[in-house]
Amino acid sequence: MADLKTIEVPIQGMDCAECTQHVQRAISKLDGVQSVNVLLATEKAVIRLDPAKVDLPAIRKAVASAGEYSVPEIASPPRSSSIQNFNRQLMIVLALVFGVVLSIVIAGEWLGLFEYLDALVPFPIGVLIVLAGGLPVYRNVIRAALRRQIISHTLMTVGVIAALVVGQWVTAAIVVIFMRVGEYVEQFTTESARRAVKELTSIAPQTARVEREGAEVEVPVSEVRVGEAVIVRPGEKIPVDGEVIGGHATVDQSAITGEAMPVEVANGSHVFAATIAKLGSLRVKTLRVGADTTFGRVIRMVEEAEAHRADVQRLADQFSGYYLPVVAAIAALTFLLSRNPLSTAAVLVVACSCSFALATPVAMLASIGGSAKRGLLIKGGKYLETLARADMVLVDKTGTLTLGQPQITDVVPLNGMSASEILSLAASAERYSEHPLAEAVRAAARAQNASLYEPQDFESMPGMGVRAKINGNIVAVGSRRLIAAAESLPTVQELEAQGKTLLFLSRDDQLAGILAAADTLRPEVPTSLAELRALGITHIELLTGDNERTASALAEKLGVSYRANLLPENKIEIVKEYQAKGHIVVMIGDGVNDAPALAQANVGIAMGAAGTDIAIEAAHIALMREDWSLVPQVIRIARRTMGIVKMNLAFTALYNLIGLSLAAFGFLPPVLAAAAQSLPDLGILSNSARLLRQR
């Protein structure tokens, strides 16, 4: 099998969803291209290909053949805020010009000024004006026709031709003016949706100050090597993911977590690229650079979110493909019944499929981009659509509902062991475990100054515990599944009735002691669960590997159902069970042991995913900070987004239906039809832009 690789190619000239379809079709036809996703938001194509069969020149040629599109030699850098401000001012001017021209058109139509202009300018000169003004549009239409494709401007071009055929060059010229104005409106519509993503991308640090050969050297971030020490001064952005090995600072992590409150970091703390050292200096050991950092993965996920299209977006795209032939048929029928070429031209001009194609992606891009700045990473529109229909939430316990920082509250020695010996053996066996309970055991051992030994033959058993050889003895620490002999002890029942999680320790297969741990419920959980119920999600179920009594105590406190004694594979089966019953299942976990269930759920939400590879990869939505209030918030965002998408589609359908009807019956002349076809894009823009201002 050929060695395939994935490349990213910048694309210039794309203004609407229809453009991405043209470019995607052109690239996908190349021999050696396995898959291609053309992303409007970031103006690029992500292509998986066989490099032995297809190269960049071939891709560049295919893109150029699709229309007025190109692959630049060097990718354009993100635009600065000053340029964006200039664009906003330019579009305000264009809107004013549009209003003035529209007013002149209406007045001219009523006062007969166009007839006077038509008589004043010779017809051949008028034709030249029409041809020169619409040349870029005509080129795209001709190229599309050569590929046997109909695009939105095809109908308007036919309308221009129809106006010229009946000798009304002024009407044709005004149609061309509004075609060009409409193009600027579409560009502004798309650029507005892109802006949130571009602003997110633009905050990435470009250089880093590293220690090399005893001196500080400033280098591009791409040249920083893992393991190097990076120096960060007050007010500077941290350029890498790493561990603090010197200094102390207050760090603004809002770029990653969306949380406005800064955090204190010192030796041993982990910091993330694109965060800002507000007060104090830091010396950071580099762990990840560039695209491998948490911020880099965030950017990649937001950029590629467009590839995961919602079902409603796919339907809109399919509808656009059928819409243009239907409009052509309506125009033909109008001509057959009325024999009025102007009414026929008006029908062709007023119909513009770009509004249908834009109705969904603009709202999705606005929602995904706006949410990313708040620390809510959504992998694609289809997950927003699914989340809006969710009716069930399954929740992991440790690290999700609870803080994941349990403390050892009781040590019960058995069979002649002392409490100190139990802590010593347990902490030694758990020395290299990453489970929150393992850290609780190690912390308790440190507090008691218990001796630690180097474990040999360490073995981790997910959902059960750990096993290792300590001083020649086989020591196991874990749940009752690991050590079944603990079932009938009165102490066990008493501790579990208090809602505590128990760890059982055995030495050479003999039960030697019990450790009890208690975790703290996140303070915002009860309020957030109440908000979920208010949103209509009445079935909330706790899934935990803890025993029946511990799970029951927490579930009763929260007013939810529960299932206990679960292994990771059991959680997957529960998700499948509810999906088989027709439920839209949301799984919320911490992204480690819950990764399989997160991936299996209709929508998997990872809590506190900052810096966690598996959380971002497995989940469909990642909450970059450990805050349960974000859960009902993201569901509200999903529902609001889908409401706006449906509103966009309904508005577009109704607007076009009215426009086609007025044009077909002769109430909308071609001049006004040209003006009218540009208005839906403005409506979609203003409606979708509300998603950028969500509170």
**Whole-angstrom distance, CA of residue 26 vs CA of residue 59:** 9
**Whole-angstrom distance, CA of residue 218 vs CA of residue 213:** 13
Q: Are residues 172 and 156 in contact, defined by beta-carbon separation less than 8 angstroms?
A: no
CA distances from 339 to 62, 92, 166, 666, 669 (A): 42, 41, 12, 11, 15
CA distances from 319 to 57, 287, 326, 421 (A): 34, 48, 10, 72
Say how many C-beta atoms besides its own lie within 10 A of residue 539's C-beta.
15
Q: Where are the alpha helices (DSSP H) in 269-350?
A: 294-304, 311-338, 341-350
SS3 245: strand
Q: Where are the alpha helices (DSSP H) in 223-310?
A: 254-257, 294-304
- Positions marked active-site: 396
Amino acid identity for residue 483 in this structure: I
Q: Quick one: CA torsion of 375, 379, 383, 387, rounded to 10 degrees?
A: -10
Pick the closest to residue 154 from 337, 320, 24 (CA basis): 320
In angstroms, the first-to-last Cα distance of the chain is: 51
Q: Are residues 191 and 41 in contact, defined by beta-carbon separation less than 8 angstroms?
A: no
Helix (DSSP H) and strand (DSSP E) numbers for the chain: 26, 25
**Whole-angstrom distance, CA of residue 157 vs CA of residue 136:** 11
Q: Which two tokens stand for residue 626?
A: 């450990």
**Whole-angstrom distance, CA of residue 345 vs CA of residue 563:** 66
Pick the closest to residue 138 from 165, 124, 156, 125 (CA basis): 156
Q: Which two tokens stand for residue 349?
A: 């001009």
Burial of 50 (0-12, 13-18, 19+ CB in 10 A): middle
Give me the sheet containing 270-271, strands edge to edge.
Answer: 215-220, 207-212, 229-232, 282-288, 241-247, 270-271
Q: Are residues 286 and 242 in contact, defined by beta-carbon separation less than 8 angstroms?
A: yes
